[in-house]
Structure formats: C-alpha cells, structure tokens
Amino acid sequence: MADERREQLTDLLDVPAVLRAQVREVHRQLDEGLTDWLRALAPSAPATGSRVVALYIHAATVEDITMQSLLRQVAPIYETDWPGKGPGHYSTSDLVPLRAYAQQVFAATDAYLAHLAPDEASQTVDLSRLGQGQLTIAWVVSKFVVLQLAQIYGELTSAAHET
C-alpha cells in the first residue's frame, strides 16, 4: 500500500526538475557562502589551508565523484579535465582554479539533471560494493549531492564565522 502511494506521488512530480532546483539552490548557497567570507576578509587574502575553502572544494569533489563515478560511471572531472592539476594540487589561497573546477562540476551536474527524464530518475544504481545496495538515481542525487552539500554548507558557514 505504501509503495503504491509513493508511486502515485512520484508520478505527479517531475523528480528531475525538483532535484535540479534543489541542487541549484545548494550551489548558490555554497557560492554565496564563499563569496561572503571572502568579502569579510578583504583586503587580506584567504589564509593558506583555510577550512572554508577546503570545505567548498570538498563539496565540489563529493558532487564530482557522485555524478561522474557513481551515476555516469566515468572518471570524475578532476581526473579527466584537471589531471595532475586537480583540486588537491592547488593552494587554498589561489581560488581561481579551485572555483573554476567547482563551477565546471556544478555545470556538469546541472546538464545531467536537465536531460534526466522523469522515468530515468527511478532507475536503480548498484551501490552494493559500497554497502548501499540498489538505489534510485533520485535517491543518490538527493542523498549524496543535495543533503551532503547542504551539510557541508552548514560546516562552511560555521567555519566562516570562526575566522
């Protein structure tokens, strides 16, 4: 009975559009959080090893691995477009390449969700090797992108207030 009601509800929703809106919102929050922190620091440069910058890059990397490796089953962007110069190879005081990487990841996710058909969102992904079992694409995006990035944004905001 509960499965039947859940199917009726999801039939009424454009799940990819809802996920896309949620992902866009969390991207906006992360970008604004980083920008607000940088404005508060002006005119001084961000400290090397900044927790705020590290959290921002962590968010982009989590999303990159989720969307590319788990869902698309291809190498993450930091390996394909940024080999040898990915996020781990930059100083947290040089934000230009770090932000460029994050924006590329965010754009790739947006494009993926823009082209995801409503029936595709309910397709399963085998995450048994990670101890997660068979999960839907919608669940993976919701859990590993929307919820994880929202949590990281909270940590970023907290770290920004500590500096």
Helix (H, G, I), strand (E, B) or coil at 46: coil
| pTM of the model as a whole | 0.86
Please write the tens of the pLDDT for every residue from 65-116.
Answer: 999 999 999 999 999 988 776 666 666 667 888 899 999 999 999 999 999 9
Domain 10-162: top CATH class: mainly alpha
Please enumerate in sequence order all residues whose Cβ is within 8 A of that of 138, keeping only pairs 6 or more positions apart, or say none. Answer: 15, 16, 19, 121, 122
Q: What share of the chain is helix, strand, coil (3-state, %, to 5)?
A: 75, 5, 25
> How many C-beta atoms lie closer than 10 Å to residue 96's C-beta?
8
Residues in the chain: 163
What pLDDT is attached to residue 4?
Answer: 65
Q: Which two structure tokens, joined as six digits, stand for 140?
A: 């993976």
What pLDDT is attached to residue 94?
Answer: 72
> How many C-beta atoms lie closer than 10 Å to residue 75's C-beta?
14
